[in-house]
Amino acid sequence: MKICLVRHGQAQVAPGRRRDSSLSPLGHTQAGHLAKWLADGARLDGDTALTVGSVVTSPLTPARETAEYVCEPLGLAARVQHTLMAADFPLAPELPSSAAPFTRRRGRLLSERYLDFRAQARTALVELTRCARESGQPVLAVADGGLIATVVRAAAESDAFCLKPYHCGITALEWSHGHWRLSHVNLWDHLPVPLRTS
C-alpha cells in the first residue's frame, strides 16, 4: 500500500490570504509538469511505476488547483479531505529544539496546539490508508508542506525531525511488513531545475 504526499505548487503571496492564495504563474507551471509526468507513466525509481488510483486534496486553494492539474489527464476527480488542512500557526517553533530536544514546556515536550495538529495529521493518514486499501492502488494527496511533514512524523511516531517538502515534490510512504516505510522524500525529477522551489 502506497501513499504519495504532494506539496501544492508555489502560491502567490497575497496580503491577508497567506494560507489560501491561488497558485502563482510558477506554481501553475510546476503543477502542469507534475500532471504530465504522472500521465506519461511516472517512475518513482528505475523500475517502480506510479499508477495513481485516487486523488485527494486539502480544501485550500493552492492544493485544489494543483489537484485539478493532476486529475485532468488521469481522468480522475479529486476528493476534498478536510483533515489535510494546513496548520494556522508556524510548525517549526513547536518542534523540539536542536539545542534542547527534550526540554519540557509546562510539563510537556510539545504544545497543545501542535499535539492537536499531529492528531489531525494522524487521522489524515488513517483516511488516506483506507482510500488506498479500498482502491488497491496508490493514493495521491495534495496538501501544504507542514501537513505533509506532520503526517510523516505521525507515521514515524517521532517529532524529533523537521522535513521541508518542495513545491510539487513527492514524499511517498509505503506500508510494508507491519510498519510505514518512507520510500521517497521530495522526489522532483519531473521538474526542470529552474522550476524547483522549496
- Residue 49: what pLDDT? 81
Residues 158 and 183: their CA atoms lie apart, in Å, by 17
Select from 3.20.20.70, 2.120.10.90, 2.40.50.140, 3.40.50.1240 the CATH code of 2-191: 3.40.50.1240
Region 165-188 average pLDDT = 94
- Residue 13: what pLDDT? 79
Question: Model-level pTM greater than 0.85?
Answer: yes
More confident residue, 21 or 80: 80
Per-residue model confidence as pLDDT tens digits over 42-99:
887 777 788 899 999 999 999 999 999 999 999 999 999 999 999 999 998 888 766 6
Per-residue model confidence as pLDDT tens digits over 136-159:
999 999 999 999 999 999 999 988
Give the residue extent of every domain in the chain. Answer: 2-191
Whether the pLDDT of residue 108 is over 80: the answer is no
CA distances from 108 to 5, 90, 113, 121, 155 (A): 29, 18, 12, 19, 21
Which amino acid is located at 151 in the chain? Answer: V
